[in-house]
Amino acid sequence: MYIETDIVRLGEVNVSALAERISAIPDEAWNQNTSRQKIFPAHADTQTLWMVYDPDFRHMNPTRRDLMDEYEPLLAPTLELIVGHYANTLADKIIPEMRQQPRPGYFIRIIMTRLRAGGNIIIHRDGGMSLKRCHRVHLPVITNEQCMFTSGNTTLHMRAGEVFEINNRQDHGVQNAGEAARVHIILDYVQPGEYIEDPKGPVVA
């Protein structure tokens, strides 16, 4: 979603238990599904595990995967932080016809993605119907100080446990110059009825 700045920090959570669990995931599990890397060349250096995900990038009725059941208790503080943040900030952005019968927000996608040591996510810009209409939120879980995230004119190291929304409708990418893989959980949140000033023209979530 296009937002008025490059990156917004939403808050911080404790990810120590989450990092411990993720560190135990075997390489064969990470290597099972390469469809995202084949579809999106920018992500060739990454591996992905699906938690809430549909390959057709639908915008409603997401498919909850078994992995979400396993990790939801550890993700609960992050989910609550995100829902609470947007509940407090989006009221004025809901189109008038949706205010009379508001619909709750929902997570349309949640994925776990690992960027290899020395790897890059090349500069790119997200497109497609759903990605224009959702808040793309990053939760760094395992990272290092040589891992830098760029969005627009901003480059920073996202520390483990910090929660950020990125402007995925402008150029963004990642460089992991460290000697260990980086793992983020990416959460796409939709607030139905939200009005968005997308560069290609206004859209409604």
Could you report the per-residue pLDDT of 38-79, keeping only the tens digit for each? 888 889 999 999 999 999 999 999 999 999 999 999 999 999
Distance CA 33, CA 114 (A): 12
What is the CATH number for 39?
2.60.120.330
Question: Would you state the structure tokens that stand for residue 116, as one six-digit string?
Answer: 């290899």
Number of independent structural domains in the chain: 1
Residue 102 has pLDDT above 90, yes or no: no
Residue 1 placed within a domain:
no
Residue 56 placed within a domain:
yes
Residue 33 banded pLDDT, cuts 50, 70, 90: confident
Question: Would you state the structure tokens that stand for residue 40, as one six-digit string?
Answer: 């999106």
Residue 88 placed within a domain:
yes
- At 50, give phi and psi (nearest 5°): -90, 135
6: closest CA among 118, 127, 168? 168
CB 68 within 8 A of CB 52: yes
Range of the domain at 18: 7-204
Residue 151 has pLDDT above 90, yes or no: yes
Distance CA 151, CA 123 (A): 9
Residue 54 placed within a domain:
yes
Distance CA 74, CA 72 (A): 5
Distance CA 200, CA 170 (A): 12
Please tell me the predicted confidence (pLDDT) of residue 34: 83
Question: Would you state the structure tokens that stand for residue 189, as one six-digit string?
Answer: 């949140």
Residue 60 placed within a domain:
yes
Please tell me the predicted confidence (pLDDT) of residue 114: 98
Residues contacting 57, CB < 8 A, separation 6+? 128, 129, 130, 131
Residue 74 placed within a domain:
yes
Residue 120 placed within a domain:
yes
Q: Is 156 helix (H, G, I), strand (E, B) or coil?
A: strand
Residue 2 placed within a domain:
no
Distance CA 93, CA 99 (A): 10
74: closest CA among 15, 143, 138, 158? 15
Residue 35 banded pLDDT, cuts 50, 70, 90: confident
